[in-house]
Structure 1
Amino acid sequence: MKTPESLSIVLPAKNEAANLPVFLPKLLELYPQAEILLVDDGSSDDTAAIAGDAGVKVIRHPYCMGNGASIKTGARQAKGEILVFMDADGQHDPHDIAALLAKINAGYDMAVGARNARSHASWFRRVANRFYNKLASSMTGHRIEDLTSGFRAARADKFRKFLYLLPNGFSYPTTSTMAFFRSGFPVAYVPIQAGKRSGKSHIRLLHDGLRFFIIILRIGVLFSPMRLFLPISASIFSLGVGYYAYTYITEARFTNMSAVLFLSAIVTFLIGIVSEQISSLHYKNIE
């Protein structure tokens, strides 16, 4: 097990004054020697003051920059060899950190707290999360049990390799998970039961759900382009073959639409090949 001095716990926070007096004492009791950094993302309440009074290192953003931006700030400032990221609203149980660290010490480069179905407040969230997991699994070729969980531990040197890719919004877990898988860094999952936060969530379900979907596609194109372009190209080509067969049987001719479909399939396939070559450039210096 790593020594406590090599552990940094990063807490992105915005207007969490109501939750910190309950959450921070539990965390400090379990990991008194760990470096705990709270990144105050432009809070309008006493978040920073409460954290400072508790003896936690506080880093303040001058205005709200986003959850992902807070993660990047904390990762840059942290001194530990192992980074733990968790919400400051009390949803994540500090006792679960030990299970994440056990996976890291077992040889994994990232360990993610995978929430069970009861952790999601509504059936819509459960269905959406299941859909995201399956889609991302197909993009990466690895089973992803919880794509959007913000409770995770990672080796600092590996995690910092991808800071330039992380978005400033709420989808840093999506990007970091897929980046680790694509780079060949082993990722483990630990089942957890996430609690219900007090107060109002900063995530807008429909708006951020659409953003998660777009980011999955963007990261899929960035890291595994042919997993996206090849099925699209094959579908267009099959449509062209089917349409040509129909027009040949009914009109005995090759139509312009068939030609367009065949050319579109070829262009899409070539774009996938070029994208695959470009994506490989992201890994030339990763060891």
Structure 2
Amino acid sequence: MIEGVVKESDVSIVIPAKNESASLAALLEQLHAVAKWREVIVVDDGSSDETQAIAEAAGCVVPRHPYSKGNGAAIKTGARLATGDVIVFMDADGQHAPADIERLLARIGEGYDLVVGARQQGSQASVGRGLANGFYNRLATYMTGHEVEDLTSGFRAVRADKFREFLYLLPNGFSYPTTSTMAFFRAGYSVAYEPIHAAQRVGKSHIKPLKDGVRFLLIIFKIGTLYSPLKLFAPVSVLAFFIATLWYGYTLIVDGRFTNMSALLYTGSVMVFLMGLISEQITALMYKDGS
């Protein structure tokens, strides 16, 4: 399947779920009302509520983790089990509307390999998260040279064979959307964005502000290392070199000498550049053979 209409019988729906009994029944009812999918896979990530029973009652395929391994791990489990040519990933908390799947699949039919449901203004869970996602989008746009409208959205349709190429790269936590998007750009696959409105989630979020805040900061560096590390390291190196030169000029005029601080800054500039160069080679090896 390259271009054309994507049939529902070719589509596997994968839903990672952990203690989502409050929203899951309604979501599955809406999904089955939209179309007769090839399969709906609800990955129970160690739930302690009725998530598994609800999914099984709705006729879903329900692989279960014996303990919680993380959102990304659930995504990988679902992707390995999916038999459809196209996989649609969506959350179990009621944020994503099944009616929007048709528009994502239409873009796949146009020839795109990955279509991300881009959350529009007012769809973010909080102002802070909206600002963070905006920063990630701008950084990813700079790194890839392509407009990135929503780097962290978990609502996406993807060609299954291409997605499985990068399973070994995906983390077990919440940053699988970032990793997979950057991997698709790096591989030269076609990525598109389809505007959606994400509703407020049902129930309590599994994201912990302090712990996950630190982890999301690491996404910034992951964005660089997954695409082109040198584009992240080179500006830092140039800035350090520029500051070193300014400081050297100042101390030469005032004290008439070359100081240890200038030497440290120049050395740091060179080291940062070399780290970026080495990281660039490592990144190239990561994508050489992921099968």
Detail structure 1 runs of 4+ shifted over 4 Å in the superposition: none
Instruction: Tell me, yes or no, if the aligned pair for 1:11 and 1:88 is still in contact at 8 Å.
Output: yes
Question: What's the offset of the Cα at 1:143?
Answer: 1.6
Please, which of 82, 89, 103 is the counterpart of residue 78 of structure 1?
82
SS in structure 2 at match of 1:19 = helix
Amino acid at match of 2:218: I
Distance 1:33 1:252 in 2: 76
Distance across 1 between alignment mates of 2:108 and 2:253: 62
Residue 188 (structure 2) aligns with: 184
Q: Which residue of 2 aligns with 1:150?
A: 154
The aligned counterpart of 1:58 is 62
Contact 1:9 1:37 in 2 (8 A): yes
Task: Determine if contact 2:140/2:223 at 8 Å carries over to the other structure.
Answer: no
Match among 217, 220, 236 for residue 240 of structure 2: 236
Amino acid across the alignment from 2:186: R
Q: Provide the C-alpha distance between the structure 1 equivalents of 2:131 and 2:87, rounded to a whole number of angstroms.
A: 30
Partner amino acid, structure 2, of 1:180? F
Give the aligned CA root-mean-square deviation in angstroms. 1.5
CA distance in 2, matches of 1:55, 1:171: 29
Q: In the TM superposition, what is the alpha-carbon distance from 1:31 to its structure 2 partner?
A: 2.3
Alignment of 1:1-287 (within 5 A): 1-285=5-289
Which stretch has the larger CA shift, 17-26 or 123-132?
A: 123-132
Q: Which amino acid aligns with 2:152?
A: T
- Provide the C-alpha distance between the structure 2 equivalents of 1:137 and 1:120, rounded to a whole number of angstroms: 19
Residues of 2 paired with 1:254 and 1:121: CA distance?
52
- State the SS of the aligned residue for 1:57: coil
CA distance 1:205–1:144, shift in 2 (3 Å) = farther
Task: Give CA deviations for 1:15-42 in whole Å, capped at 9, x if unaligned.
Answer: 1112122111110121223211000001
Distance in 2 of aligned mates of 1:286 and 1:163: 8
- Mark the runs of 5 or more structure 1 residues left unpaired by the alignment: none
Q: Secondary structure at the match of 1:18?
A: helix
Helix, strand or coil: the match of 1:33?
coil
Q: For residues 135 and 76 of structure 1, do their structure 2 counterparts lie closer, same or farther at Cα, with a shift above 3 Å needed?
A: same
Deviations along 1:204-223, one digit per CA (max 9) or x if unpaired, are 23432331220231241243
Counterpart residue identity of residue 157, structure 2:
A
Q: Does structure 2 conserve the Cα–Cα contact (< 8 Å) formed by 1:222 and 1:275?
A: no
**Taking every aligned residue pair, what percent have the same amino acid on both sides?**
59
Contact 1:110–1:153 (CA under 8 A) maintained in structure 2 = yes
CA distance in 1, matches of 2:189, 2:163: 10
C-alpha separation in 2, matches of 1:33 and 1:269? 50
Distance of 1:44 and 1:274 partners within structure 2 = 45
The CA distance in 2 between the partners of 1:225 and 1:276, in whole Å, is 5
Residue 286 of structure 1 deviates from its aligned partner by 7.2
Q: Secondary structure at the match of 2:69?
A: coil
Q: Residues 211-252 of structure 1, C-alpha deviation per residue, up to 9 Å, x if partnerless? A: 122023124124311111101110110011001100111111
Q: What count of residue pairs does the alignment treat as equivalent?
A: 287
Stretches of structure 2 lacking an aligned partner (at least 5 in a row):
none
Q: Which amino acid aligns with 1:162?
A: F
